[in-house]
């Protein structure tokens, strides 16, 4: 990748901040994870290492209030794209009914959840999906008629799988969790959510 001198300096500055995990306070910088750890305690499945940021989390925090430079965005998306694990034998689709249950469930990974809780995808928290479910959020775009509008060709299947697995591969610093990459949903669960989105019989496409 070629970078001009200005971009190079930006990347260097980013790297300097990212390595230390620091935030600026006036002229001073402070270590946010270390500061946060002193105010949180581990409980259940939620250990203190959840406050150790990945490079992606650090960079996205750093750029929360300013535009992500194009070169940095391209680097992050390339890096995240390489992390996507596609299903064996292109087996992309499961059962849309199970997908609907997963889309409805917001359980899992909270310190209040029992350790054996099966996590949901909580898709409805942010997206419209079926027309029947009126209690949907608006942080993400409507996915009603997702498959009806796009069909289910191999490129669409692959893109949709990748977007669910690691959304940052296509939109660095998006609000959407990395459901596969972060281990929130397993492959079978993602297949079911895929079917909810793409099966012509799914109420999403009715």
Question: Which residues ranging from 187 to 206 are in contact with other proteins (CB under 8 A)?
Answer: none
Question: Which residues ranging from 58 to 87 are in contact with other proteins (CB under 8 A)?
Answer: 60-61, 64-65
Nearer to other proteins, 10 or 126 (CB): 126
Nearer to other proteins, 7 or 104 (CB): 104
Q: Is 180 helix (H, G, I), strand (E, B) or coil?
A: coil
The reply on whether position 183 binds other proteins by CB under 8 A is: yes
In whole angstroms, give the CA distance from residue 105 to residue 40.
Answer: 26
Q: How many residues bind other proteins (CB under 8 A)?
A: 56
Dihedral angle at the C-alpha atoms of 110, 175, 82, 145, nearest 10 degrees? Answer: 100
Residue 107 makes CB contacts below 8 A (sequence gap 6+) with 113, 117, 118, 119, 120
The reply on whether position 20 binds other proteins by CB under 8 A is: no
The reply on whether position 89 binds other proteins by CB under 8 A is: no
89: left (phi over 0), alpha (psi -120 to 50) or beta: left
Question: Phi and psi of 56, rounded to 5°?
Answer: -60, -45
Task: Give the number of other CB atoms < 10 A from CB of residue 101.
Answer: 15
Give the relative orientation of helices 55-62 and 70-81 as an angle to the nearest 10 degrees. Answer: 150
The reply on whether position 109 binds other proteins by CB under 8 A is: yes
Question: Which residues ranging from 120 to 179 are in contact with other proteins (CB under 8 A)?
Answer: 120, 122, 124-126, 131-139, 175, 177-178
Stretch of 3-11, 35-43, 70-78, 156-164 contacting other proteins, by CB under 8 A: 35-43
Stretch of 7-15, 80-88, 108-116, 197-205 contacting other proteins, by CB under 8 A: 108-116
Q: Are 174 and 70 in contact (CB under 8 A)?
A: no
Residues that bind other proteins (CB under 8 A): 23, 25-26, 30, 32-33, 35-36, 38-43, 46-48, 50-53, 56-57, 60-61, 64-65, 104-107, 109-113, 120, 122, 124-126, 131-139, 175, 177-178, 182-184
């Amino acid at each position: 990748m070629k970078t001009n001198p200005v971009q190079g300096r930006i990347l260097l500055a980013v790297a300097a901040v990212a390595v230390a995990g620091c935030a600026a306070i006036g002229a001073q910088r402070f270590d946010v994870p270390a500061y946060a750890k002193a105010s949180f305690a581990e409980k259940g499945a939620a250990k203190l290492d959840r406050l150790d940021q990945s490079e992606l989390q650090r960079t996205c925090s750093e750029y929360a209030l300013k535009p992500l430079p194009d070169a940095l965005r391209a680097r992050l998306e390339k890096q995240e794209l390489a992390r996507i694990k596609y299903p064996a034998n292109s087996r992309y689709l499961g059962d849309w009914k199970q997908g609907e249950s997963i889309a409805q469930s917001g359980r899992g990974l909270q310190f209040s959840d029992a350790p054996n809780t099966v996590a949901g995808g909580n898709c409805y928290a942010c997206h419209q999906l079926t027309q029947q479910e009126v209690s949907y959020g608006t942080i993400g775009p409507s996915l009603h008629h997702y498959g009806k509008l796009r069909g289910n060709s191999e490129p669409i299947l692959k893109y949709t799988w990748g977007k669910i697995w690691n959304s940052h591969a296509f939109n660095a610093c998006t609000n959407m969790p990395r459901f596969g990459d972060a281990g929130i949903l397993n492959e079978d669960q993602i297949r079911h959510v895929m079917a909810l989105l793409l099966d012509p019989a799914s109420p999403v496409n009715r």
